[in-house]
């Protein structure tokens, strides 16, 4: 009745919201959060600014909504991968780790948007804590899979699990970023990622049972 923004009920609304979010995803990745104008996003989505201001209060709110959705999606994806791990046929440890870590940060993940988010987080305390929370959740999942494998094979690590997880994520992140900067095709990125992660796992694992 006195809602400034209409309640999120209708079907149509959800769709245009989604299209705006998709467009924002693209545009933010291409030119960055600050250089992106509301108009650009609307144009990309096939709307006018009227639609935008009917669905969001500001570009900032849109950005927040976008990265929230993105974080959830990624966490779910990783959780999914962990769930469908081939429990019986775990023959190469690095492969497993790669499957989980690579999914989280490498592969089809455009580093542009993530770099953008991190940069923004470094300036805005609110964003910072959100970002950290999300990172921690991700790390927890990676730690989970590491512990699982280590247990299953009676291995031991040269570093605490948490530390190992962070290393893996860092390397994955850096590999992806560098490969993108070098303009390598996606396939090649995978190669590199595999190679580096495999070597790293080799170093981290102390003894095989």
Partner DNA sequence: TGTATCGGATACATGGTTGTATCCTAAGAG
Partner DNA sequence: CTCTTAGGATACAACCATGTATCCGATACA
Binding site for its own copies (CB under 8 A): 30-35, 111-112, 115-116, 118-123, 125, 128, 131-132, 135, 158-159, 163, 166-167, 170-171, 173-174, 177-178, 180-183, 196, 199-200, 202-204
Please, are residues 115 and 31 in contact by the beta-carbon 8 Å criterion?
Answer: no
- Ramachandran assignment for 185, one of left (phi > 0), alpha (psi -120 to 50 degrees), beta (any other): beta
Binding mask 21-60 for DNA (x = CB under 7 A): ----------------xxxx-x---xxxxxx-xxx--xx-
CB of 119 to DNA, least distance (A): 18
Taking the least distance from each CB to its own copies, the nearer of 5 and 195 is 195
Buried b (16+ CB within 10 A) or exposed e, 105-120: bbbebebebbebbeeb
- Output the smallest distance, CB 37 to DNA, in A: 4
In the complex, least distance from residue 143 CB atom to its own copies, rounded to whole angstroms: 16
Shortest separation between residue 126's beta carbon and its own copies, angstroms: 12
Residue 184, binding choice from its own copies, DNA, none, Cβ under 5 to 8 Å by partner class: none
Measured over all CA atoms, what is the biggest interatomic distance in the chain, rounded to whole angstroms?
66
Q: Answer yes or no whether residue 11 interacts with DNA by CB under 7 A.
A: yes
Phi-psi map region of 10: left, alpha, beta (phi>0 left; psi -120 to 50 alpha): beta
Q: Which of DNA, its own copies, none does 209 bind, CB closer than 5 to 8 A by kind? A: none
Helix (H/G/I), strand (E/B), else coil: 206? strand
Q: In this structure, are residues 153 and 203 in contact, taking their beta carbons and an 8 Å threshold?
A: no
Of the two residues 35 and 162, which places its CB atom closer to DNA in the complex?
A: 35
Half-sphere exposure of 138 (CA within 13 A, CB side): 26
Number of residues that bind DNA (CB under 7 A): 24
Instruction: State the Cα–Cα distance between residues 137 and 92, nearest whole angstrom.
Output: 25
């Amino acid at each position: 009745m006195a809602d400034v923004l209409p309640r999120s009920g209708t079907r149509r609304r959800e769709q245009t919201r989604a299209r705006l979010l998709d467009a924002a995803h693209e545009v933010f990745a291409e030119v960055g959060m600050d250089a992106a104008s509301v108009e650009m996003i609307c144009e990309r989505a096939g709307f006018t600014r009227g639609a935008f201001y009917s669905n969001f209060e500001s570009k900032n709110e849109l950005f927040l909504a976008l990265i929230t959705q993105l974080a959830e999606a990624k966490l779910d994806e990783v959780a999914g991968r962990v769930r469908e791990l081939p429990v019986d046929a775990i023959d190469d440890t690095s492969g497993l780790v790669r499957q989980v870590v690579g999914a989280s940060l490498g592969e089809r993940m455009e580093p542009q948007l993530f770099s953008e988010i991190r940069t923004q987080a470094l300036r805005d305390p609110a964003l910072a804590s959100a970002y950290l929370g999300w990172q921690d959740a991700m790390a927890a999942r990676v730690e989970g899979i590491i512990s699982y494998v280590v247990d299953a094979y009676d291995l031991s690590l040269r570093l605490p699990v948490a530390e190992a997880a962070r290393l893996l994520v860092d390397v994955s992140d850096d590999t992806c970023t560098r490969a993108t900067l070098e303009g390598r095709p996606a396939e090649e990125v995978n190669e590199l990622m595999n190679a580096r992660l495999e070597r790293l796992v080799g170093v981290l694992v102390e003894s095989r049972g």
